[in-house]
Structure 1
Amino acid sequence: MSIDALKSRLPDYAKDLKLNLGSVLTTSSLSPLQAWGTAIAAAYASRNAEVTKAIVADAAAHLDAQNLTAAKAAGAIMGMNNIYYRFVHLADNKEYSKMPARLRMNIIANPGASKVDFELWSLAASAVNGCGMCIDAHEHEVIQKGATKENVQDVVRIAAVIHAVATVLDAEDALAS
Structure 2
Amino acid sequence: MSESTEVINELLQSIGVDTVYRTASLTLLENGESRYLRDLKLNFTSTLKSEHLSAKECGLLGLGVAVNNNNLPLTNFYTKYAAEEGASGEDIAEAAACASLLASNNIFYRFRHFTQKEKYSQIPARIRMQIMMKPVTGKEFFELMSLTISAVNGCEMCVNAHEDSLIKLGTTEERIFDAVRIASLITATGKIIF
TM-score, normalized by the shorter chain, greater than 0.5? yes
Partner of 1:17: 40
Partner of 2:92: 68
Task: Give 1:81 shift.
Answer: 0.8
**Are the aligned partners of 1:44 and 1:75 in contact in 2 as well (CA < 8 Å)?**
yes
Distance 2:183 2:37 in 1: 16
Closer, same or farther in 2 for the Cα pair 1:94/1:168, shift >3 Å?
Answer: farther
Distance 1:94 1:163 in 2: 34
Counterpart check, 1:157 vs 2:181: yes
Which letter maps to 2:185? V
Equivalent runs, 1:74-113 vs 2, <5 Å: 74-113=98-137
Task: Give 1:133 shift.
Answer: 0.8
Distance 1:168 1:95 in 2: 42
Distance 2:153 2:76 in 1: 19
Task: Give 1:68 shift.
Answer: 1.4
Closer, same or farther in 2 for the Cα pair 1:109/1:2, shift >3 Å?
Answer: farther
Partner of 2:4: none
Closer, same or farther in 2 for the Cα pair 1:92/1:142, shift >3 Å?
Answer: closer
Counterpart check, 1:49 vs 2:58: no
SS at match of 1:51: helix
Distance 1:107 1:117 in 2: 13
**Are the aligned partners of 1:2 and 1:55 in contact in 2 as well (CA < 8 Å)?**
no
SS at match of 1:37: helix
**Are the aligned partners of 1:47 and 1:166 in contact in 2 as well (CA < 8 Å)?**
no
Question: With structure 1 as the length reference, what TM-score do the two structures score?
Answer: 0.86
Give the unaligned 5+ runs of structure 2: 1-11
Partner of 1:32: 55
Q: Which has the higher contact order (CA 8 A, sep 6+)?
A: 1
Distance 1:78 1:2 in 2: 31
**Are the aligned partners of 2:63 and 2:74 in contact in 1 as well (CA < 8 Å)?**
no
Sequence identity percentage: 37
Give the unaligned 5+ runs of structure 1: 171-177
Counterpart check, 1:58 vs 2:81: yes
Task: Give 1:41 shift.
Answer: 1.1
Task: Give 1:49 shift.
Answer: 1.5
Question: With structure 2 as the length reference, what TM-score do the two structures score?
Answer: 0.79
2:151 aligned to 117, 124, 127, which one?
Answer: 127
SS at match of 1:169: coil
The total of aligned residue pairs comes to 170
Which letter maps to 1:103? I
* Greater C-alpha Rg: 2
| Aligned structure 1 segments of 4 or more residues deviating by more than 6 angstroms | none
Which letter maps to 2:15? D
Task: Give 1:92 shift.
Answer: 4.2
Distance 1:105 1:4 in 2: 32
**Are the aligned partners of 1:3 and 1:55 in contact in 2 as well (CA < 8 Å)?**
no
